[in-house]
């Protein structure tokens, strides 16, 4: 089959006109440009077409308390208590329903692959389900039904804080030891459209020798390895007080840093941390809509990129699900912090949401419109009020700095439409969100 794109971004500084994308099975086999009219039988994608977006950091269940944590003063740490209340109410059935609805919302926003950083593994008080991977299996099945690819980034989570016991809710996250974590994760069979990754939840939840074991396990299987890193100053202080090192230094010594490693947030890295991440060729995943929501701070994305790291974006807490907003927030927040414009341009920001984000979650054959790559596409029709007046010359910066998820018209995964004319092909996403969030109750 063939798609004819009025304009498509093929990875350069500008969009190309009249792009015919030939697809066989799940893959792109040919790309032709300068084709003025749609060939007979081609599926027409008017407006602007990009490679499918990668949401490199997500906790699907946190969609349930969007907007409900905005009352009163507080910090990351008070928000975390509210998050635990929602986590405590999940079981495999309610998680499946909520995750399917949330991944449906992601599909509508142009996301074709999600890196689900998964840590709610067990039942109440840490009781194992009959299938100890029932929660992960529910999340994978949810993504499949929502039509998007998933990497289940299964997180090792063993301590309530550095040297602290797990609380009642955190017991649901823990496998007891890092060895037991590896045994559980080895039984996961992701199936089609799904892959596996590993995570060290954070230096708060995993001790250095445990981190070393998880990192070695991921290295042996060449899997992506993620960790929350320096999201909060208090995390840096606690880590230095006990280990005499920053979280990034602890992870580097544990052998975690490589070009398969993604540091999530990296809001408060030292100069040495930036150099370590850059030299390793690691990815840094920014989640600015969550980082601002939680009063985390502004990550130094441009400095990390200059040091040699790549960038990705994630919707994290699902405060909103809109990767165009995440992309521009990286740049716009840094402008406020540095009092300087132009730290990162539209093309670099789009690469974070496409090729670099896909690679960070283990889908390196997605994220570019090229022969051999997966036929995952997101199409913006350009007809809405935000994009009216868009020109081919300014298209990429107009999209990055003004488009929203609502401008996504069509989404194709593996050559098939998951979203057509702004509607999900299979799910009533709004109704599923209402029902699944309502079913969990509370705030
Ligand atoms: Zn997170």
What is the 286 CA–ligand 1 centroid distance (Å)? Answer: 10
Mean pLDDT throughout 304-331?
Answer: 97
Contact 53, 378 (CB under 8 A): yes
What is the 201 CA–ligand 1 centroid distance (Å)? Answer: 8
Q: What is the token pair recorded at 83?
A: 């998050």
Q: What is the token pair recorded at 420?
A: 């057509």
pLDDT of residue 67: 86
The topology (CATH level 3) of 2-50+372-424 is Urease, subunit C; domain 1 (2.30.40)
Residue, of 248 and 83, whose pLDDT is higher? 248
In the chain, ranges of CATH 3.20.20.140 domains: 53-360
Mean pLDDT throughout 5-9?
Answer: 98
Mean pLDDT throughout 304-309?
Answer: 98
Banded model confidence at residue 443, pLDDT cuts 50, 70, 90? very low
Q: Is 228 a catalytic residue?
A: no
What is the 163 CA–ligand 1 centroid distance (Å)? Answer: 21
Q: Is 293 a catalytic residue?
A: no
Residue, of 52 and 69, whose pLDDT is higher? 52
Banded model confidence at residue 76, pLDDT cuts 50, 70, 90? confident
Tell which CATH architecture fits domain 53-360.
Alpha-Beta Barrel (3.20)
Helix, strand or coil, per DSSP, at residue 1: coil
Distance CA 247, CA 230 (A): 6
pLDDT over 50 (residue 297): yes
Mean pLDDT throughout 37-60?
Answer: 98
pLDDT digits (tens, 9 = 90+) for 169-220: 999 999 999 999 999 999 999 999 999 999 999 999 999 999 999 999 999 9
pLDDT of residue 49: 98
pLDDT of residue 441: 72
Scored b (16 or more CB within 10 A) or e, 164-178 reads eebeebbbbbbbeeb
What is the 265 CA–ligand 1 centroid distance (Å)? Answer: 8
Q: Which residues contact 332 (CB under 8 A, 6 or more apart)?
A: none
Banded model confidence at residue 434, pLDDT cuts 50, 70, 90? very high
Distance CA 260, CA 363 (A): 12
pLDDT over 70 (residue 28): yes
Burial of 421 (0-12, 13-18, 19+ CB in 10 A): exposed
pLDDT of residue 75: 85
Mean pLDDT throughout 246-252?
Answer: 98
What is the 321 CA–ligand 1 centroid distance (Å)? Answer: 14
pLDDT of residue 440: 85
Instruction: Average the pLDDT over each of 57-71, 97-111, 393-407 and give the range with the smallest value.
Output: 57-71
From residue 21, alpha-carbon distances to 180, 383, 421 in Å are: 46, 22, 19
In the chain, ranges of CATH 2.30.40.10 domains: 2-50+372-424
From residue 301, alpha-carbon distances to 214, 283, 305, 329, 362 in Å are: 27, 11, 6, 11, 21
pLDDT digits (tens, 9 = 90+) for 358-383: 999 999 999 999 999 999 999 998 88
pLDDT of residue 442: 55
296, 316, 376, 407: which is the annotated catalytic residue?
316
Distance CA 126, CA 82 (A): 19
Percent of the chain residues past pLDDT 70, beyond the cut: 100
pLDDT digits (tens, 9 = 90+) for 100-130: 999 999 999 999 999 999 999 999 999 999 9
- Sheet with strand 416-420: strands edge to edge: 27-32, 16-24, 2-8, 43-51, 377-380, 408-413, 416-420, 423-424
Average pLDDT score over the chain: 96
Instruction: Average the pLDDT over each of 45-49, 74-78, 265-269 and give the range with the smallest value.
Output: 74-78
Q: What is the token pair recorded at 356?
A: 């670099």
Banded model confidence at residue 83, pLDDT cuts 50, 70, 90? confident
Instruction: Average the pLDDT over each of 77-91, 140-154, 249-263 and give the range with the smallest value.
Output: 77-91
265, 296, 356, 407: which is the annotated catalytic residue?
265
What is the 316 CA–ligand 1 centroid distance (Å)? Answer: 5
Backbone angles phi, psi at 162, to 5 degrees: -65, 115
What is the 353 CA–ligand 1 centroid distance (Å)? Answer: 17
């Amino acid at each position: 089959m063939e798609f004819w794109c009025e304009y498509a971004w093929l990875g350069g500084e500008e969009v190309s006109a009249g792009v015919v994308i030939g697809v066989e099975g799940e893959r792109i086999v040919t790309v032709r440009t300068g084709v003025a009219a749609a060939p007979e039988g081609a599926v027409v994608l008017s407006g602007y077409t990009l490679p499918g977006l990668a949401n490199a950091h997500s906790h699907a269940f946190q969609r349930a308390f969007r907007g409900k944590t905005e009352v009163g003063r507080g910090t990351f740490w008070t928000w975390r208590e509210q998050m635990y209340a929602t986590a405590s109410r999940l079981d495999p059935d309610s998680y499946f329903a909520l995750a399917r609805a949330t991944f449906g919302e992601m599909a509508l926003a142009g996301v074709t692959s999600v890196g689900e950083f998964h840590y709610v593994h067990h039942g109440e008080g840490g009781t194992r389900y009959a299938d100890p991977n029932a929660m992960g299996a529910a999340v994978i099945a949810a993504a499949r039904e929502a039509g998007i690819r998933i990497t289940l980034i299964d997180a090792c989570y063993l301590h309530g804080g550095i040297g602290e016991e797990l609380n009642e809710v955190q017991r649901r996250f823990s496998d007891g030891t890092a060895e037991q974590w590896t045994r559980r994760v080895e039984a996961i069979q992701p199936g089609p459209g799904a892959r596996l990754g590993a995570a060290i939840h954070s230096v708060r939840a995993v001790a250095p020798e445990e981190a070393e074991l998880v990192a070695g396990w991921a290295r042996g299987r060449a899997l992506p390895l993620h960790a929350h890193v320096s999201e909060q100053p208090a995390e840096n202080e606690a880590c230095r007080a006990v280990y005499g090192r920053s979280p990034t230094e602890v992870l580097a010594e544990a052998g975690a840093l490589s070009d398969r490693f993604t540091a999530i947030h990296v809001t408060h890295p030292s100069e040495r941390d930036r150099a370590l991440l850059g030299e390793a060729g690691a990815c840094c995943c920014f989640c600015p809509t969550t980082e601002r929501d939680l009063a985390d701070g502004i990550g130094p994305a441009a400095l990390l990129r200059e040091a040699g790291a790549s960038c990705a974006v994630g919707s994290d807490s699902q405060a909103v699900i809109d990767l165009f907003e995440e992309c521009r927030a990286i740049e716009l927040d840094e402008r406020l912090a540095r009092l300087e414009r132009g730290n990162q341009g539209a093309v670099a920001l789009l690469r974070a949401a496409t090729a670099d984000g896909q690679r960070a979650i283990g889908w390196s054959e997605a994220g570019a419109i090229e022969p051999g790559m997966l036929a995952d596409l997101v199409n913006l029709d350009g007809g809405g009020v935000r994009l009216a007046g868009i020109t081919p010359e300014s298209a990429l910066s107009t999209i990055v700095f003004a488009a929203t998820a609502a401008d996504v018209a069509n989404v194709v995964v593996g050559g098939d439409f998951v979203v057509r004319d702004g509607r999900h092909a299979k799910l009533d996403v709004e109704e599923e969100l209402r029902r699944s969030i309502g079913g969990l109750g509370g705030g």
